[in-house]
Amino acid sequence: MSRPIEIVEVGPRDGLQNDPALMPTDVKLEFIDRLIDAGVRRMEVASFVNPKLVPAMADSDDIMARVPRDRGVTYIGLALNERGMRRALDTKCDEVNFVMVASEGFGKANQNASPEVTADLFDRIAVLAHDEKVPVSVTISVAFGDPFDGEVPIDRVAMLAGRAAEAGAMEIALGDTIGVANPWDVRERVAAVRAAAPKARLRLHFHNTRNTALANIYAAVEAGVDVIDASCGGIGGCPFAPKATGNVATEDVVYMLHRAGFDTGIDLDRMIKTARWLEAEGLKHPIASMVAKAGGFPASRAS
């Protein structure tokens, strides 16, 4: 099981966007430095949305101006519309992640748009990234269930994946925004998306709201997915999704994958130390991560 699995660290963006503690910019930059020291080479660090709606991301332009550019890291910025796409490109994001939405209810709350409208919008604005030769990925949010509408049809998720691929997305992520997926559903939706977008690279994004994230990641990896989102400490949540709790913890994912023999390129001990720093100094409140509490096995140097 030596196949590599890429971990996309989303703590500095998805992790912090809904946290009750507004982390100062300098502390965010220290967080990013610690993640790089732990081996992270691809991470979400910015969200180009209305700062009145997501105050924690108001410093995204400043963050992008100050992140270290000489350490081999790909910095991802999130965009929901044309203005966000232009801001992400202007601040020299290495990659832009655009969000399509798989249901009407969440689409209206999060982006004030339907699934079809988000797909149409990506058709129009993806060219902005293509012209700048900046890779653009698409996350299909609430791909496993919507907090307002309930179940989300698989064929709609597949349709959006096909639209994303046709418009030039180099990677398609399925987002379990409210943490309702199960391993069997993961396998089925991965297969449907592969059929609709056979050449696209797939990424999976799980929240641990109902304690199924690690099982879902197992199912994704068994289905051949090689890219997984995770958030140091298990922090995160969506401001527009009721009761949405944190992402799956990076150190929990890394521990599971390393024990199975997969290579993530991440130093588990350093990631545990970063999670503990996050709890004690960065956010100054408890985090959800289990491995940060228990340490690695055999006995971790971070224990």
Active site residues: 238
Closest CA to 185 of 228, 193, 118, 196: 193
Could you tell me if 217 and 5 are in contact, meaning their C-beta atoms sit under 8 angstroms apart?
Answer: no
Could you count the other beta carbons within 10 Å of the beta carbon of residue 229? 29
Map tokens 């902005």 to a residue.
Answer: 128
Supply φ then ψ for residue 35, to 5 degrees.
Answer: -65, -40
CA distance 295 to 274: 12
Contacts of 232 (CB under 8 A, 6+ apart): 9, 11, 15, 31, 35, 249, 250, 251, 271, 274, 275, 278, 289
